[in-house]
Structure 1
Amino acid sequence: MDINLLIDFGSTYTKVLAVDLDTETVLGQEQAVTTVESSIMVGLQNALNKLYTANPVIKEEKINKRLACSSAAGGLRIIAIGLVPELTLEAARRSALGAGAKIVGSYAHELDEESICEIEANTCDMIMLSGGTDGGNKEVILHNARALAGLKKNLVVLVAGNKVVRSKIKEIFLSAGKQVEVTENVLPDVNVINVEPARTAIRNIFMERIVKSKGLDSAQAYVGSILMPTPMATLRAAKLLAEGTKDEPGLGELLIVEVGGATTNIHSVGHGYPRDGSVILKGLPEPYAKRTVEGDLGIRWNAHTIFELANDRLRENLQLNNYQESIPHVEEVTRGMGGNVGYVPQDEQGFLLDTSLARTAVQVAMERHAGTLREVSGFGGLVPVQYGKDLTDTKVVVGTGGVFRYGLFPHSILEGVLFDSRAPFSLKPKEPCFYVDKGYVMYAAGLLADVAPTKALRILKKHIQQISKQISK
């Protein structure tokens, strides 16, 4: 047996999953509450004890490899800073999101005193500083570097801007005693996006510095290293599932819908080019593997925010799902969820409320992720212009997360991604097939993607299940 142990130090639960790569099977999986406050190893050991007890074939001494990811202690939180919101700042945001980070602040142009105070008060882990194409504007990024060098907190700063002044910026931070790393420009030329070097640098910083600062280094003696943030593992799994390998076909262009207690994330793998030759594509080139994170749409921490943000839509979904309680009751329950993030529904009405919250979160998150079609004035009349990805032809949508694994009505939740004629300019999927990650193996497949990609893909394909529409009682 070639037993590999895959670990996810989650914000709420530490999950462990053991696979035998020889037979490409999942031997067992368990979870326990994450224990960041005391020692991360307590929660891990609790999960392992449950795993070994339930699956006697898995023994500690038989484990050949251990791989881990983490979103514990808030995950990887980054502030992105650029010159122009639609250009260098957007390129920086995409780099950070693709590396598995959560954007907790965005700033464009020159930082003023108010912005510096906000950054000082922000509980972020890293600052990503960009600005200017190579050989372009250098004054703004230099101004921002000098302003950030005066911060009292000692954050890691990743510089990914105009190469003409990178060495000077590095010296500014080093002279101020700050931690600084330099990588290639995320926007070396107008409409040329270069995110991979920054993503690699973010991952390295996460492993070498952020893991230690969050107290996760206590697990390294057992695991070896925390390879990546959990969202990055999910994005890798999505790419593997879409593309396949030379020995195992993938499913083609797809969407991964990840609904959690703190965020709702959408991952799309596909080019998203215009389907109609008359449509003009504008804006920065979209990444082939794209991830967006909506920190205001978690169905526990932000349940009441969903109630307030999309009240009409939530009411519509509650009615659609035959939820029987009154709206004042819904308001009371969602308000209390933020202080009880471990809440688990106890009856069908509870599951229907969860379903409605998740469906609403997915609808809003999908609108933010998908591209849009607009008509602008041009020579000879109105011209159709596309911004972002056209996802209307996406044929595969996979739901992952506890609400899909344990919930009763996953199909209703995934319907939140669908094109809506009431918003005809949002380029959302029209006729996809729905799947759920019933085995909760998405993160594990992402961890294995570099080690044994074909085996990881086969395991993942075994544990995603196509679903049809359910009708509640």
Structure 2
Amino acid sequence: MEYILVTDVGSTTTKARLFQKIKGEWRYVLSGEAPTTVEAPYENVIMGVQNAIREVEELTGLKILSDEGKIIKPHYDGHGVDFYCTTSSAGGGLQRMVAGVIKTMTAESANRAALGAGAIVMDVIAVDDGRPDYEKIERIRHLRPDMILLAGGTDGGTTTLVMQIAELIAAANPRARLGADYKLPLVFAGNKAVRPAIKKLMGDKFALSIVDNIRPVLEIENTEPARRAIHELFMEHVMSHAPGYPELMTWTDLDILPTPAGEGMAMQLIAYIEKKNVLGVGLGGATTNVYSVFDGKFVRSVSANLGMSYSICNVMKEAGIKNIMRWIPFEIDEGDLVDILRNKMIRPTTIPHTLKSLVVEHAVAREALRLGLKHHKTIATRLKGAKRAQRMIGDILEYTLKETYIDMMKIDIIAGTGGLLSHAPRRVQSMLILTDGFQPEGVTKMYQDSVFMMPHLGVLSKAFPEIAWNIFDKDCLIRLGTIIAPAGTANQGEPVAKVRIELPEGEVFERDVTFGEIIRVPLAERTQAKAIISPTHDFDVGAGLGKTLETTIEGGVVGVVIDARGRPLVLPEDDEERRKTLVRWFESLDMYPEAFLKECKGE
């Protein structure tokens, strides 16, 4: 094998990435991009794929397409590639409805399974979701999903309530999004005792697929069989009816994956290779996908209404204009800011042309990340109902513990992808956006996608994990550096920690850090240093309150950032004081040009 081609058929752009074996190791060569052609007048994704590949051909001189417009395989004498695969989110990706018995138990588990398979969940219907039956039927009828996932009941548990939900779906008789000429796929992953009744009720109306129960007992969540079934049905029913996909499926050497599933596999690859807890984000124009691999458990959440272009006004609506304004270091009228964001929404492909408009987008990104993580924590939860006294169905004796198991102190790596992060003019900007949005605690490594390549390498890792990691490591992952963030709060200027970093060539950085400071220490990429962090009694860096942590830290293109602004991060209430504080932080990190920051200060 010498050449591998991977494409991503996105909602607006089709992106081709060419990889080549050079001197015995696999490397990224270059990219070709073209508008996606899923909608009228073209209605054939093949055309967009061919156009993206032609750009690769022009730039490399390698002839990949035959005279008939198909990919030549295998590679020979300057023609063709050896392997081709693709991801896709064109036409709205994989949209599905989820149904279960108890909203916080089986329905929640089914929701996690659907999200993990790369789906956008349109709605979650449950017996106890507070809506009357006629409203549920009306909702199911109007959704027009690509697929339905029905769960409910432990094995040998309730049958009546499972059938109640099934009968609502049957009565609604929903139609598939991509036309009425085929049966809507339905995956049943509930109580095995009701399988015969489900077959009888649903068998003729739906393309029914029965898999193992998602919650066979309350203590166990088994999402993998449902995830696999979702993917198989996605290929068999949804992709085979989308314009141009049947032909594209004959070209690929692997099944087509939904783009978020590819992105999720890339995040899992980082966690697997590094053997660490990872929190990742795909910050898109229409959606924000948050991924976590925590103690080996992978969870994805999609905030389908939070994005940086099409959905930018939804971020404003959910966060509130004041929360966006708090990150802006210059005076701006609230009405003007609203107009800037509305203009971005109606012209989603425009890019910032002034530093002020760039800073505004960075402010929105922080809020999109904050809200995305908040939503993710509602998905990444402990199993409800497990080992708890159950007085009556739905009335569960709750533990007095945090709902989510995501502990920022135990997150070792944060990884970001998406246009705004990948194309930030200075890498320190994306590092601080990720830091302010997610607020990591303790010692955390920060990674970023160089060019949008994570979905491509995620799908490639299914067939060739070692090749995918080699390209990932050498050409995709930019190591931004390490954040040291003591958790706790204090008054401005009070001592937070004594930090000692033993740098290469015998240099030593030593400093008593005070509250409100943020400091950048240069340390080159792939360079390690020993750090000794001794927090005061009110602060924790991972060893406990007031306890010293000795650890090895890694450098990056930004270096090491010591963030003593406190957790949770609180900005001053007074507008003038807040703007001065932001400028001081930005100056300390060399975030934006000096002249611009002086202008923000009114100098």
1:439 paired with 2:451, answer: yes
Change (3 A) 1:388 1:58: farther
CA distance in 1, matches of 2:219, 2:436: 32
Structure 2: which 5+ residue stretches go unaligned? Answer: 66-78, 176-182, 383-398, 481-557, 559-588, 594-603
Name the counterpart of 1:129: 150
TM-score normalised by L of structure 2: 0.68
Q: Secondary structure at the match of 1:18?
A: strand
Name the counterpart of 2:345: 338
> How much has 1:334 moved relative to structure 2?
1.7
The count of aligned residue pairs is 432
Name the counterpart of 1:53: 58
In the alignment, is the contact (CA less than 8 A) between 1:411 and 1:470 conserved in 2? no
Change (3 A) 1:31 1:252: same
> How much has 1:190 moved relative to structure 2?
0.7
Name the counterpart of 2:376: 369
CA distance in 2, matches of 1:386, 1:20: 47
Deviations 1:348-367 (A, max 9, x none): 22222221111110011112
Moved more, 343-352 or 188-197: 343-352
Name the counterpart of 1:284: none
Name the counterpart of 2:324: 314
Structure 1: which 5+ residue stretches go unaligned? Answer: 245-249, 272-286, 374-382, 420-427
Mapping of 1:41-440 within 5 angstroms?
Answer: 41-57=46-62, 59-60=64-65, 61-109=79-127, 112-150=133-171, 151-153=173-175, 154-175=183-204, 177-215=205-243, 216-223=245-252, 226-244=255-273, 250=274, 252-271=276-295, 288-311=297-320, 312-317=322-327, 319=328, 322=329, 325-370=332-377, 385-389=401-405, 390-408=407-425, 409-419=429-439, 429-440=441-452
Larger radius of gyration: 2
Q: Secondary structure at the match of 1:450?
A: helix
Change (3 A) 1:208 1:413: same
Name the counterpart of 2:36: 34
Q: Secondary structure at the match of 1:80?
A: strand
TM-score normalised by L of structure 1: 0.86
Change (3 A) 1:268 1:257: same
Change (3 A) 1:59 1:212: closer
**Percent identity, aligned pairs only?**
27
CA distance in 1, matches of 2:449, 2:381: 28
In the alignment, is the contact (CA less than 8 A) between 1:4 and 1:18 conserved in 2? yes
CA distance in 2, matches of 1:455, 1:403: 27
Q: Secondary structure at the match of 1:63?
A: coil
**Aligned AA (2:111):** R
> How much has 1:152 moved relative to structure 2?
4.7
Change (3 A) 1:392 1:335: same
Moved more, 227-236 or 363-372: 363-372
CA distance in 1, matches of 2:468, 2:316: 38
> How much has 1:64 moved relative to structure 2?
0.8
1:5 paired with 2:5, answer: yes
CA distance in 2, matches of 1:152, 1:80: 13
Name the counterpart of 1:279: none
**Aligned AA (2:145):** C
In the alignment, is the contact (CA less than 8 A) between 1:170 and 1:181 conserved in 2? no
CA distance in 1, matches of 2:434, 2:63: 35
List structure 1 segments (4+ residues) > 4 angstroms apart after TM superposition. none
> How much has 1:407 moved relative to structure 2?
2.3
Name the counterpart of 2:469: 457
Name the counterpart of 2:503: none
Q: Secondary structure at the match of 1:85?
A: coil
Change (3 A) 1:336 1:457: same
> With CA pairs under 8 Å and 6+ residues apart, which has the higher RCO, 1 or 2?
1
CA distance in 1, matches of 2:240, 2:331: 48
Q: Secondary structure at the match of 1:369?
A: helix
CA distance in 1, matches of 2:381, 2:117: 25
> How much has 1:42 moved relative to structure 2?
1.6
Deviations 1:325-347 (A, max 9, x none): 43212211222333322222223
Name the counterpart of 2:582: none
> How much has 1:210 moved relative to structure 2?
0.9
In the alignment, is the contact (CA less than 8 A) between 1:207 and 1:225 conserved in 2? no
Deviations 1:230-269 (A, max 9, x none): 111111111111112xxxxx26221111100111111111
Q: CA RMSD in A?
A: 2.1
CA distance in 2, matches of 1:254, 1:224: 29
Change (3 A) 1:309 1:334: same
